[in-house]
């Protein structure tokens, strides 16, 4: 029996899980292609490796649990988890990093709790956080955008660095810009600069911010935004969580910028940097781990946006969506309990 993603009153035919997951993957492809364009072949290699490990590990676990393997794999949930985790890690990270992350996401986070529909945390984000805490050096070794790096890496070089080189020394060359300076992600750059006493204006004068948002990251976010809008059009997701996430982040960032523009980045920078659009449309909307009622979904999304801004501004991690989503997952049952929708057919008393 297929796992149906729908809530009462069940007046219309709901999409099957496999169809939902398939459409989410297809809508994410423009964003994946944009990442490959700006950050090289490593993105695609990590995604392919993640999908392979996810399907094999899920099949093995299903076999051990004496569950139908083929029918379950067809729900495409493992495929989506692998895709999200593959695009979240640095493109030239060693092969064993994505293998460990995918195994943790599929075997522990998903199947240890009973499989699809039973997990309390988003598997991809739980795997990402586990990797970030356990292997911080490898997980923060992002390469510079292809057009800014002093030494672009080709397909063969990407394969060699991912599968044959477990040292970070050779990757350092691909993290340098034309001026020989390190090219961290835009969020990491501005966070580091502000901690060193520089103003946001001084930080934005760096080459990586020559378009105002961070070279490559603006277009990556635009691509995921386009894919998210298509999902809304196809009714694969509902608008409440993405709107809650983006509106909350925009309001918080605007307030911080108005209070002190020298030490806070503007709201548009927060919206179009890092994993903002990917998380708002493709991750936070996971129907298993999110709130279910209309008001609950708005609050769930708003909580994520608030947590992202707090962690980005005052925490120790430049991009905070994985932590924010996992914390919101913990709150989802509480939100559902206190924001139950009115029983269908019930008439309120005057």
pLDDT (0 to 100) of residue 96 = 95
DSSP state letters, 14-75: PPBHHHHHHHHHHHHHHHHHHHHHHH-THHHHHHHHHHHHHHHHHHHHHHHTT--HHHHHTT
Q: What is the pTM of this model?
A: 0.86
User: Residues 285-317: pLDDT tens digits?
Assistant: 998 899 988 899 999 999 999 999 999 988 888
- Residue 159 inside a domain? The answer is yes
pLDDT (0 to 100) of residue 12 = 46
The pLDDT confidence band at residue 9, using thresholds 50, 70 and 90, is very low
The SS3 call for residue 191 is helix
Contacts of 167 (CB under 8 A, 6+ apart): none
Q: What's the mean per-residue pLDDT of the chain? A: 85
- Residue 116 inside a domain? The answer is yes
- Residue 222 inside a domain? The answer is no
- Higher per-residue confidence, 313 vs 350: 313
User: Residues 168-221: pLDDT tens digits?
Assistant: 555 555 555 444 344 567 788 787 878 788 887 777 777 777 667 777 889 999
- Residue 265 inside a domain? The answer is no
- Residue 39 inside a domain? The answer is yes
Token look-up 């990491």 returns 188
pLDDT (0 to 100) of residue 14 = 61
pLDDT (0 to 100) of residue 347 = 59
Mean pLDDT of 44-53: 96
Q: Which of 31-35, 253-257, 312-316 has the lowest mean pLDDT?
A: 312-316
DSSP state letters, 324-337: HHHHHHHHHHHHHH
- Residue 231 inside a domain? The answer is no
Greatest alpha-carbon pair distance for the chain in Å reads: 72
Q: How far apart are CA 137 and CA 225, in angstroms?
A: 29
Q: How far apart are CA 137 and CA 135, in angstroms?
A: 6
Range of the domain at 23: 17-182
Report residue 142 as tokens: 């992002």
pLDDT (0 to 100) of residue 170 = 57
Contacts of 113 (CB under 8 A, 6+ apart): 119, 120
| Helices within 140-210 (DSSP H only) | 155-163, 186-195, 200-203
- Residue 45 inside a domain? The answer is yes
- Higher per-residue confidence, 209 vs 43: 43
- Residue 162 inside a domain? The answer is yes
Distances (CA, A) of 74 to 79, 139, 292: 9, 31, 25
Tell me the helix, strand and coil percentages in the chain, rounded to 5.
60, 0, 35
Domain total for the chain?
A: 1
Q: Which of 8-12, 69-73, 128-132, 140-144 has the lowest mean pLDDT?
A: 8-12
């Amino acid at each position: 029996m297929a796992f149906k993603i729908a809530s009462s009153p069940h007046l219309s035919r709901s999409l099957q899980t496999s169809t939902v997951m398939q459409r989410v993957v297809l809508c994410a492809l423009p964003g994946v292609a944009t990442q490959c364009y700006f950050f090289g072949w490593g993105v695609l290699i990590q995604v392919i490796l993640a999908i392979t490990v996810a399907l094999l590990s899920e099949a093995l676990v299903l076999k051990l649990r004496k569950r139908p393997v083929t029918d379950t794999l067809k729900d495409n949930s493992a495929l989506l988890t692998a895709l999200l985790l593959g695009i979240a890690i640095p493109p030239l990270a060693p092969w064993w990093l994505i293998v460990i992350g995918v195994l943790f996401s599929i075997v522990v986070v998903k199947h240890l709790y009973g499989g699809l529909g039973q997990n309390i945390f988003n598997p991809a984000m739980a795997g990402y956080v586990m990797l970030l805490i356990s292997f911080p050096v490898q997980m923060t070794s992002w390469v510079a955008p292809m057009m800014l790096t002093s030494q672009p890496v080709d397909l063969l070089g990407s394969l060699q660095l991912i599968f044959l080189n477990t040292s970070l020394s050779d990757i350092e060359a691909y993290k340098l810009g034309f001026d020989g300076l390190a090219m961290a992600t835009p969020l990491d750059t501005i966070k580091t600069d502000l901690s060193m006493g520089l103003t946001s204006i001084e930080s934005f004068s760096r080459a990586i911010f020559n378009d105002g948002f961070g070279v490559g990251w603006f277009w990556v976010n635009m691509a995921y935004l386009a894919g998210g809008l298509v999902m809304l059009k196809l009714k694969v997701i509902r608008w409440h969580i993405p709107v809650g996430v983006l509106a909350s982040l925009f309001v918080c960032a605007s307030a911080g910028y108005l209070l002190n523009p020298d030490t806070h980045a503007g709201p548009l920078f927060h919206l179009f940097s890092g994993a903002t659009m990917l998380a708002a449309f493709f991750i936070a909307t996971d129907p298993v781990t999110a709130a279910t009622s209309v008001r609950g979904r708005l609050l769930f999304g708003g909580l994520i946006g608030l947590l992202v801004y707090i962690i980005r501004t005052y925490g120790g991690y430049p991009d905070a969506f994985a932590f924010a989503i996992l914390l919101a997952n913990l709150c989802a049952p509480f939100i559902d309990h206190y924001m139950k929708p009115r029983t269908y057919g019930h008439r309120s008393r005057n």
